[in-house]
């Protein structure tokens, strides 16, 4: 028998209810103990039963999609609220040194509800404005819950509270790295992709070189760049003043840029290649100059592919920018590697959670933009 | 006047067009017929330099085509590509307006011109102007492609199999339309086809192409009456050959004094149609509206002399 999606989501959330909601640690680095929803809160058993009831209902009765979306949104918000409350009431008993982190049950519930949301949205196929609206609602609700202080007793938020300024600084740096390398990759990759489209002979070598680049692990890449850039900074003082150095943000930017080059170049090429030959020849035959053919025919027709490249690269770079933390380049990676060094998982989460959220957000926003562009096309 | 002088084009060491010399008089339609792969597309592409000749020259009104900036040359030569190649992201009107826009015509003039062309090709401007190419049938797309080639009133129009995708009825209509458009504008035209009937119907002259060479270039009647090689004979002759000949001659040309029964026909009606009317109505002769008659015997005699 095929499992219906609704059943799968229900099983996920159900499992989440049964697994520990929060992890309790007497102090920051001690071993933890899991606590279930029904143990964590006074009203816990009632809430768990109510949610279970709704889940069973969602399995046996085919809910309208709208209702499912509302249920999922409420579920996501509810999981956060319940987590915050549980943490608060537990911390009152345990004192200030204790740490309360979201545990497997919480993550499963969040996963189940967000899958339910994605599925509901996909099924309902709401109009583009409606989808922007849903995205906006989720963002506002998320920020609202964070700002309300409800989650302040959660360990990640406590890590955040002690590093507010550093967090904002690294967030800015993370975005600079991701967008900066994307900008560079577009600046170089679009002309390069167009160039090898026109000069067929260069295709093989260029793509091969980019492919090799793509397979070099980031640590090895830093290893190669370190002496090169250090030498460059030493011999050319001007370069040093521009921020060129063997470690820090500059090599991280270069690495991200190099990794982004292949997707940009290959998508540019494949986008241009989808333009039918007759269309291209008609453009030339009617008397368009090279640049007119490129600007009026080739690029507009390759646009969906170019935006797809933008999406791939942005999402990839937001995630990958974490490696900058390895070489003192800043960004959310700083917390990740600090946390790993100190064996403080809460600090690692402070780096990974915003990274994941940003990547998701960028992916969704660009998907919506792609649909805007794709409208009115065959 | 267009002169092709000793044009040759090699691809991968093989000549695809060899030593072609051809003069097209201003205001005439030349149809270029030949089997698939004989080099027709390559030949006309050398005129607008989409393919550069390996040797030889193209003169347009005495001016060497190679001496002009290539995009300026192409804007003066209308070109409807084999395979149409409409711009999928632009509406019908924008497609047609391509060359006028490149030439910087004022908006109002471009709009008038697009509507005029749509009407000329029997496409209602109100219905078709804002359609996208994927919303057209194959035949409509081909007519838009031809309209696009004509938009900036080019001195020369190159049409590469413009009616390939049309069914026989629409095709006949499109051929008549094109002929009418050409008569009105006086555009010089080179039209590629592998349909000999189309070549006969539309051409003032026919150039027959085989394996990269022009094997015969002549007025339509002469090609039909005096094929110079077996290839041309095979192309123009066959069981239909005699009817093609008759289709070139007007009834008035072999009219004789006298009476005939039944409804009269126009003096301009071609003999193929006269013959068909005689046979279907069981008459030996038809009266002409302008007086006199055409007899079956006269048609038979003319066909026997090979149309002369
Ligand atoms: N760019 C090219 N490179 C190599 N060979 C080519 C090229 N263009 C055309 N040819 C070859 O030249 C020959 C003539 O091609 P062309 O397109 O001129 O034929 P055609 O008479 O227009 O045929 P059709 O009626 O099928 O359109 C063919 O054998 C073709 O393979
Ligand atoms: Mg051809």
Residues of chain B found within 8 Å of residue A297, distances taken between Cβ atoms:
87
Nearest to B98 by CA among B152, B137, B44: B152
Nearest-neighbour CA in chain A from B217: distance (Å): 26
Whole-angstrom CA distances from B306 to B225, B228, B302 are 6, 14, 6
pLDDT at A8: 84
N-term to C-term CA, chain B: 29
Nearest-neighbour CA in chain B from A373: distance (Å): 11
Express each pLDDT in A138-171 by its tens digit: 899 888 888 888 888 888 888 888 888 889 999 9
Q: Which residues of A sit within 8 Å Cβ distance of B?
A: 276-289, 292, 297, 300-301, 376-378
pLDDT at A376: 55
Burial tier of A286 (Cβ tally within 10 Å: 0-12, 13-18, 19+): buried
Q: Distance between CA A336 and CA A348 in Å, rounded?
A: 4
Structure tokens at B278: 């005689």
In the DSSP assignment, the letter for residue A154 is B
Q: Distance between CA A206 and CA B137 in Å, rounded?
A: 41
Helix axes A218-235, A249-273, angle to 10 degrees: 120
Q: Within B32-82, where are the H helices?
A: 40-47, 70-76
Structure tokens at A104: 């497997």
Express each pLDDT in A3-40 by its tens digit: 778 888 888 888 888 888 888 887 777 778 888 888 87
User: Which ligand approaches the C-alpha of residue B160 most closely?
Assistant: 2
Residues of chain B found within 8 Å of residue A277, distances taken between Cβ atoms:
83, 85
| Coil/strand/helix, residue B29 | strand
- Kindly state the helix (H) or strand (E) to which residue B172 belongs, with its residue range: helix B168-185
A143 Cβ partners below 8 Å, 6+ apart?
A: none
Q: Distance between CA A319 and CA A322 in Å, rounded?
A: 6
Structure tokens at B116: 């005029």
Closest ligand 1 atom to B45 CA:
18
Q: Distance between CA B77 and CA B58 in Å, rounded?
A: 13
pLDDT at B86: 95
Distance of CA B77 to the CA centre of its chain: 16
Q: Distance between CA B286 and CA B264 in Å, rounded?
A: 6
Nearest to B87 by CA among B50, B133, B149: B133
Q: Distance between CA B71 and CA A298 in Å, rounded?
A: 17
Give the chain A residue nearest B78 (alpha carbons): A286
Tell me, using a 6 A CB cutoff, whether residue B41 lines ligand 1. Answer: yes
Identity of the residue in A276, A286, A300 whose CB atom sits nearest the CB atom of B98: A286
Q: How many helices (H) and strands (E) does chain A have?
A: 17, 3
pTM score, whole prediction: 0.78
A291 Cβ partners below 8 Å, 6+ apart?
A: none
Helix axes B296-304, B271-281, angle to 10 degrees: 130
Q: Distance between CA B149 and CA A84 in Å, rounded?
A: 70
CATH class entry, domain A164-375 = mainly alpha
Residue nearest to atom 27 of ligand 1 (CA): B36
List the domain boundaries for chain A.
5-158, 164-375
pLDDT at B188: 94
Nearest-neighbour CA in chain B from A132: distance (Å): 26
Q: Distance between CA A22 and CA A109 in Å, rounded?
A: 12
Whether A247 has a pLDDT exceeding 80, the answer reads: no
Place of tokens 């029904």: A38
- Kindly state the helix (H) or strand (E) to which residue A33 belongs, with its residue range: strand A33-35
A313 Cβ partners below 8 Å, 6+ apart?
A: A182, A185, A260, A263, A264
Distance of CA B83 to the CA centre of its chain: 17
Residues of chain A found within 8 Å of residue B89, distances taken between Cβ atoms:
300-301, 377
Identity of the residue in B72, B79, B133 whose CB atom sits nearest the CB atom of A285: B79
CB contact under 8 A, A285 and B73: no
Place of tokens 């409350």: A85
Contact at 8 Å (CB) between B207 and B32? yes
Nearest-neighbour CA in chain A from B293: distance (Å): 50
Q: Which residues of chain B fall below pLDDT 50?
A: none
CB contact under 8 A, B72 and A278: no
Q: Which residue has the higher pLDDT, A331 or B44?
A: B44
Contact at 8 Å (CB) between B131 and B141? no
| Coil/strand/helix, residue B7 | strand
Mean pLDDT over the full length of chain A: 86
- Average the pLDDT over A236-259 and give the result: 78
Q: Distance between CA A296 and CA A303 in Å, rounded?
A: 11
pLDDT at A294: 92
Whether A355 has a pLDDT exceeding 60, the answer reads: yes
Q: Distance between CA A265 and CA B297 in Å, rounded?
A: 75
Express each pLDDT in A27-75 by its tens digit: 777 778 888 888 877 788 888 888 888 888 888 888 788 888 888 888 8
| Coil/strand/helix, residue A273 | helix
Whether A244 has a pLDDT exceeding 90, the answer reads: no
pLDDT at B99: 95
Q: How many helices (H) and strands (E) does chain B have?
A: 14, 12
Place of tokens 């060479």: B213
Contact at 8 Å (CB) between B246 and B307? yes
ipTM: 0.85
- Average the pLDDT over A224-249 and give the result: 75
Structure tokens at B74: 């192409």
B133 Cβ partners below 8 Å, 6+ apart?
A: A378, B86, B87, B88, B90, B92, B95, B141, B144
Residues of chain A found within 8 Å of residue B102, distances taken between Cβ atoms:
286-288, 292
Q: Distance between CA A312 and CA A48 in Å, rounded?
A: 39
Q: Distance between CA A332 and CA A322 in Å, rounded?
A: 6
Q: Given the DSSP bridges, would you call strands A99-102 and B14-24 parallel, antiparallel or unpaired?
A: unpaired
CB contact under 8 A, A284 and B74: yes
Cα-to-centroid distance, B39 and ligand 1 (Å):
6
Q: Distance between CA A298 and CA A271 in Å, rounded?
A: 9
Q: Which residue has the higher pLDDT, A251 or A318?
A: A318
pLDDT at A1: 52
Best residue among B40, B46, B54, B165 to mutate for probing ligand 1's pocket (most ligand atoms within 8 Å of CB) is B40
Q: Distance between CA B236 and CA B198 in Å, rounded?
A: 11
């Amino acid at each position: 028998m095929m499992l219906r999606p609704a059943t799968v989501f229900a099983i996920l959330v159900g499992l989440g209810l049964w697994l520990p909601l929060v992890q309790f640690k007497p102090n920051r680095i001690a071993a933890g103990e899991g606590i279930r929803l029904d143990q964590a809160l006074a009203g816990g058993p009632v809430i768990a039963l109510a949610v279970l009831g709704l889940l069973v209902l969602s399995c046996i009765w085919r809910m309208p999609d709208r209702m499912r979306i509302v249920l999922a949104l409420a579920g996501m918000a509810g999981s956060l609220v319940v987590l915050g409350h549980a943490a608060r009431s537990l911390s009152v008993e345990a004192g200030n040194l204790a740490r309360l982190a979201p545990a497997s049950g919480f993550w499963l519930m969040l996963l189940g509800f967000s899958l339910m949301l994605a599925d509901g949205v996909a099924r309902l196929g709401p109009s583009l404005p409606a989808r922007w609206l849903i995205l906006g609602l989720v963002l506002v609700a998320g920020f609202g819950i964070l700002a309300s202080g409800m989650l302040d007793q959660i360990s990640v938020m406590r890590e955040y509270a002690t590093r507010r300024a550093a967090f904002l600084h690294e967030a800015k740096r993370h975005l600079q790295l991701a967008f900066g390398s994307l900008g560079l990759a577009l600046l170089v990759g679009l002309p390069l992709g167009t160039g090898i489209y026109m000069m067929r002979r260069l295709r093989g070598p260029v793509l091969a070189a980019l492919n090799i680049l793509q397979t070099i692990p980031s640590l090895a890449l830093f290893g190669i760049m370190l002496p090169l850039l250090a030498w460059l900074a030493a011999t050319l003082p001007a370069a040093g003043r521009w921020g060129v150095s063997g470690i820090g943000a500059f090599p991280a930017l270069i690495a991200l840029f190099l990794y982004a080059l292949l997707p940009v170049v290959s998508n540019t090429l494949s986008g241009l290649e989808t333009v039918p030959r007759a269309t291209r020849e008609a453009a030339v035959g009617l008397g368009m100059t090279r640049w007119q053919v490129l600007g009026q025919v080739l690029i507009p027709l390759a646009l969906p592919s170019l935006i797809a490249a933008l999406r791939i690269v942005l999402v990839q770079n937001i995630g990958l920018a974490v490696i900058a933390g390895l070489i003192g380049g800043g960004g959310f990676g700083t917390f990740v590697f600090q946390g790993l060094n100190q064996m403080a998982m809460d600090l690692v989460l402070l780096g990974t959670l915003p990274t994941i959220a940003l990547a998701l957000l960028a992916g969704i926003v660009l998907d919506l933009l792609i649909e805007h562009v794709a409208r009115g096309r065959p | 006047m267009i002169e092709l002088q000793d044009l040759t084009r090699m691809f991968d060491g093989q000549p695809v067009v060899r030593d072609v010399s051809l003069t097209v008089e201003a205001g005439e339609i030349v149809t270029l017929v030949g089997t698939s792969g004989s080099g027709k597309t390559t030949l006309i592409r050398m005129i607008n330099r989409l393919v550069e000749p390996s040797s030889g020259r193209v003169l347009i009104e005495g001016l060497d085509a190679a001496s002009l900036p290539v995009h300026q040359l192409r804007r003066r030569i209308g070109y409807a590509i084999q395979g149409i190649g409409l711009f999928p992201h632009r509406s019908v009107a924008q497609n047609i307006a391509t060359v006028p826009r490149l030439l910087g015509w004022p908006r109002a003039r471009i709009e008038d011109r697009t509507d005029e062309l749509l009407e000329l090709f029997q496409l209602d401007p109100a219905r078709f102007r804002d359609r996208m190419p994927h919303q057209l049938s194959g035949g409509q797309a081909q007519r838009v492609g031809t309209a696009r080639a004509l938009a900036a009133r080019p001195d020369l129009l190159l049409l590469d199999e413009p009616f390939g995708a049309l069914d026989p009825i629409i095709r006949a209509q499109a051929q008549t339309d094109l002929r009418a458009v050409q008569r009105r504008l006086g555009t010089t035209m080179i039209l590629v086809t592998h349909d000999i009937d189309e070549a006969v119907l539309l051409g003032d002259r026919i150039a027959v192409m085989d394996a990269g060479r022009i094997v015969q270039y002549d007025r339509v009647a002469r090609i039909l009456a005096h094929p110079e090689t077996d290839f041309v004979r095979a192309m123009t002759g066959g069981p239909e050959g005699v009817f093609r000949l008759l289709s070139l001659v007007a009834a008035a040309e072999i009219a004789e004094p006298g009476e005939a029964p039944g409804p009269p026909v126009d003096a301009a009606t071609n003999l193929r149609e006269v013959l068909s009317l005689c046979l279907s109505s069981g008459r030996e002769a038809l009266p002409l509206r302008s007086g006199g008659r055409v007899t079956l015997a006269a048609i038979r005699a003319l066909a026997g002399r090979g149309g002369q």
